[in-house]
Structure 1
Amino acid sequence: MARDRSRRSARGNRLGLVIVGVVLLAAGLAALAVGRGLLGGDLAATPLLGDRTNAVLAQQWVPYVAVAVAFVAGFLALRWLMVQGMNDTVGRLYLARDEAGNVEMPESAARGALEQEVADYPGVRRARARLTESGDHPHLRLALTLEDDADVAGIWRRVRSEAITNLRGALELDQVPAVIRMSMTAPARNPRRSLA
């Protein structure tokens, strides 16, 4: 569900950027064409703003409104940029919560133990994990880089039956939804040949 939400958000961001880009590009090309006289010499000689518009812009309150609009637009743009940089990794995992207090664990401790365990499997070059969603019911995202001769099915079975089972036991959870992505390292371009 969170992955679908993330995909929809990314798709919406791309669509919004494309629309804004197309509108700005079209406006810029139209202004360039008018200024160069490509749409007729009379149109290029016509003032951009009429007398009525100039009269409104001459009012004392116009610069203040323009500054306020610019601040709001800048704030919204800055907030959008900050949201793009945020990740959904949880900071703390909650093992127990009750009136007496909470039992917590840093996400980095659970993540580090899992990464170390999986990285020690034969054929695994690198393991990167993230625990996302919530501290009470985390989801696991595990990215593995495998050697080019690794037993992919064996590593997947071992991660599922050992590493994720150990993580569930450590967090005292019945289930930890997981997404596992595996990629292979590229073989060497010029392998050394042994000389007999």
Structure 2
Amino acid sequence: MVRDRARRSARGNRWGLAVVGAVPLAAGLAALAAGRGLFGASLAESPLLSASAADFLGRPWVPYAAVAVAFVAGFLALRWLMIQGLNDTVGRLVLDKSDDGRVEMSESVARGALEQEVADYPGVRRARARLTESSDAPHLRLALTLDDDADVRGVWQRVRSDALANLRSSLDLERVPAVVRMSMIAPAKNPRRGLA
């Protein structure tokens, strides 16, 4: 359900951006075509605003209405930008549900234990995890930074056989879909070594 909502939100963002870009582009191209005489010489030579439109825009309340519309548009744009910055990390994980209540655990506890376990593997410089999607059926996103001489296959096998198994066991889940991203960096050089 959360994934479907994310897909709908992404599709809405794409359509919204397409419309916001297409409307001014179409208006600009139409104005350019009219000015070049593609719609007839009389349209190209006529004033941009008719006398009634110029009279309407000259009323004293029009600038205030324009400022109000600009504020509303700015608020909507700011709200859209803030929504884009939200992440899909769950706050709490549901371990057990019954008629009497439910047992929950903070996502940061599970994430911290997993990161600590994986960071202790040989060759792992840093581990960053996020549990996403839903509190009942979380998905894992694990980003590992490895030394350039690390055994990548060995790290992956330990993550799969140990870390993910421990996470599933602690959350009492049969499966936790995971995306593991590994990047490599050169080992830190000791600047004092050249001075000795």
**TM-score, normalised with respect to structure 2:** 0.74
- 1:16-27 equivalent positions in 2, closer than 5 A: none
- 1:142-161 equivalent positions in 2, closer than 5 A: 142-161=142-161
Give per-residue Cα distances to partners, 1:110-151, cap 9 Å, x unaligned.
000000000000010000000001111100000000010111
Secondary structure at the counterpart of residue 134 of structure 1: coil
Structure 1 residues 138, 67: CA separation in 2 closer, same or farther (over 3 Å shift)? same
Matched with 1:57 is 57
Structure 1 residue 69, shift from structure 2 partner: 2.3
Distance 2:116 2:86 in 1: 25
Q: Aligned-pair RMSD on alpha carbons?
A: 4.1
AA partner of residue 106 (structure 2) = P
Matched with 2:77 is 77
Distance 1:101 1:190 in 2: 55
- 1:88-103 equivalent positions in 2, closer than 5 A: 88-103=88-103
Structure 1 residue 8, shift from structure 2 partner: 8.4
Secondary structure at the counterpart of residue 165 of structure 2: helix
Distance 1:186 1:3 in 2: 36
Q: How many pairs are equivalent?
A: 189
- 1:2-41 equivalent positions in 2, closer than 5 A: none
Distance 2:12 2:185 in 1: 33
Secondary structure at the counterpart of residue 182 of structure 2: strand
Distance 1:60 1:100 in 2: 65
Task: Determine if the alignment matches structure 1 residue 171 to structure 2 residue 176.
Answer: no
In structure 2, the gaps of 5 or more residues are 37-44
**TM-score, normalised with respect to structure 1:** 0.74
Percent of pairs with identical residues: 72
Structure 1 residues 7, 184: CA separation in 2 closer, same or farther (over 3 Å shift)? farther
Structure 1 residues 192, 68: CA separation in 2 closer, same or farther (over 3 Å shift)? closer
Structure 1 residues 175, 79: CA separation in 2 closer, same or farther (over 3 Å shift)? same
148-157 or 112-121: bigger deviation: 148-157
